[in-house]
């Protein structure tokens, strides 16, 4: 009987702790998502990025993409031109060309 009571107390205590921890993690993820969106908006409005897109040069786009991925600490980054053609795509800091 005592063993069962202790087991229930432990289960209740850890369940509450897990629920609190889960809520904190969800809040952290929401804050990170919000920060990522704000960062993406700042980059999208960058005059340098707009100039690179207007120029349409893949080598210049690559240089800027490498710089931005390093500064932003992102794993994936792509730049397209005004017609949505890919100028450059980086994954893990390296150019990525999907194989079809």
What pLDDT score was predicted for residue 100?
65
Instruction: Give the pLDDT of residue 86.
Output: 92
Q: Model confidence over 67-81: pLDDT tens digits?
A: 988 888 888 999 998
Which stretches of the chain drop beneath a pLDDT of 70?
A: 100
- Please state the three-class secondary structure of the chain as a single string: CHHHHHHHHHHHHHHHHHHHHHHHHHHHHHHHHHHHHHHHHHHHCCHHHHHHHHHCCHHHHHHHHHHHHHHHCCCEEEEECCCCCEEEEEECCEECCCCC
**CA separation for the pair 90, 69 (Å, rounded):** 8
Question: Cα-flanking dihedrals φ and ψ of residue 19, to 5°?
Answer: -65, -40
């Amino acid at each position: 009987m005592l063993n069962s009571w202790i087991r229930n107390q432990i289960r209740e205590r850890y369940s509450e702790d897990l629920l609190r921890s889960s809520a904190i993690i969800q809040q952290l993820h929401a804050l990170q998502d919000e920060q990522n969106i704000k960062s993406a908006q700042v980059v999208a409005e960058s005059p340098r990025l707009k100039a690179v897109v207007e120029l349409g040069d893949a080598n210049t786009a690559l240089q800027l993409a490498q710089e931005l991925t390093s500064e932003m600490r992102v794993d994936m980054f792509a730049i397209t031109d005004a017609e949505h053609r890919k100028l450059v795509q980086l994954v893990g800091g390296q150019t990525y060309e999907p194989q079809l």
